[in-house]
Amino acid sequence: MSAPTARRGAGHASCHHGEILQGVFLDAAGRRCAGLVTLPMTGMGSRAEFTRRPGTPPEQLTVLPVDRTKAARAAALTVEECAPLRREPPCGGELRITGDIPVGLGMGSSTSDVIAVVRAVADSYGVRLAPGTVARLAVRAELACDPLMLDARPVLFAQREGRVLEALGPCLPPLVVVGCALGGGAPVDTLALPARTYDESDVRAFERLRALLRRAVATGDAALLGQVASASARRGQQLLRHPEFDTLAGIGRRLGALGVQIAHSGAVAGLLLDPAAPGLRHRVRGCVRALESNGIAATRVFTTFTTFPPVPPVPPVPSIPTVPTTKEFPSGPAHRGGHRPARPDTPRRPARLPAL
């Protein structure tokens, strides 16, 4: 049999726009575990290309940009996973990562990198890994991950364990989201925040929100989802303490938003609107103007659906200022830390969201 030859694989992963719900929940065995439900967002993502070099030692792995240490770990772990499936010894190779996800806003940029890399390495072996395997490798690479490998399906996900606690349904209710960035887009270093402990009353409260969200997804009730997101965001403020949060919530109430959502490990946030409500164009414009007039950077309008009539155009909004450089914490994000720094050699746009 001839020796295996070099083969290139490619992978892609999208991002999210923070969380709809995050807290501590009970699994099927009644055990407490951290969990979250993310708000999916398409249009931005990470892309990876991996060229494997059979016959080279597995530690001979080059990565561009060189600071993507979590992605490099993911590549090595995926080689170990896939090589035996092809009855080949693990080998080295070249990995290149590009993308346009803003860094440090809590949009899952590091997880997107990791999942894109896992998919690229698997593709180079001609292997398609199951989402559960991708999640397991992602957690091993960065200690916690977002459920981006599930491609926007709403699930309650145990981010530190890489497993689904509950599949909530096929899709979220239709929503229009007016995105913004609190604190001028500066990253939130949640490692610097005091660790929060949860008692039985907290767990009961999170379980009530979980039940309401389950019902909202099952019935397509966007208003109920907005209530859950707002309650979760307000609970998150007990730790994050964004000074503009009350202003954001007030804008939402005044302009008829269904609720607000935030990233529990970053600065991104959003006003949730009902696309079926009358005057959507006026409502979106009003939200953008109110945010800007209160010093909150409006960033992007997007939807949770693809088959509904398109969102009406609104005036362009300024981009978010570049996010200051942050350290990639060796402990992994675990939704308590920042993302990797944006460096001059990084083929990723500065940390800013596209205008509308």
Q: What is the pLDDT of residue 351?
A: 37
Nearest to 328 by CA among 191, 162, 126: 191
Three-class DSSP category at 178: strand
Q: Is the pLDDT of residue 334 over 80?
A: no
Q: Amino acid letter at 150?
A: L
Q: Is the pTM of this model over 0.95?
A: no
Q: Is the pLDDT of residue 325 over 60?
A: no
Q: What is the pLDDT of residue 347?
A: 41
Q: Quick check: is 313 in a domain?
A: no
* 168-210 per-position pLDDT tens digit: 998 999 999 999 999 887 776 655 666 678 889 999 999 999 9
DSSP 169-181: -SSPPP-EEEEEE
Q: Quick check: is 333 in a domain?
A: no
Yes or no: say if 48 and 96 are a contact pair by the CB < 8 Å rule.
yes
Q: What is the pLDDT of residue 307?
A: 53
Q: What is the mean pLDDT of residues 243-269?
A: 95
Q: Quick check: is 348 in a domain?
A: no
Residues 6+ apart with CB under 8 A from 221: 173, 215
Q: Quick check: is 336 in a domain?
A: no
Yes or no: say if 91 and 55 are a contact pair by the CB < 8 Å rule.
yes
Number of domains in the chain: 1
Q: Which neighbouring-strand residues pair with 93?
A: 52, 61
- Which helix (H) or strand (E) is 142 found in, with range? helix 131-142
Q: Quick check: is 320 in a domain?
A: no
Give residue 87's domain range.
7-303
Q: Quick check: is 2 in a domain?
A: no
Distances (CA, A) of 159 to 33, 121, 166: 9, 22, 13
Q: Quick check: is 319 in a domain?
A: no
Yes or no: say if 85 and 117 are a contact pair by the CB < 8 Å rule.
no
Q: Quick check: is 261 in a domain?
A: yes
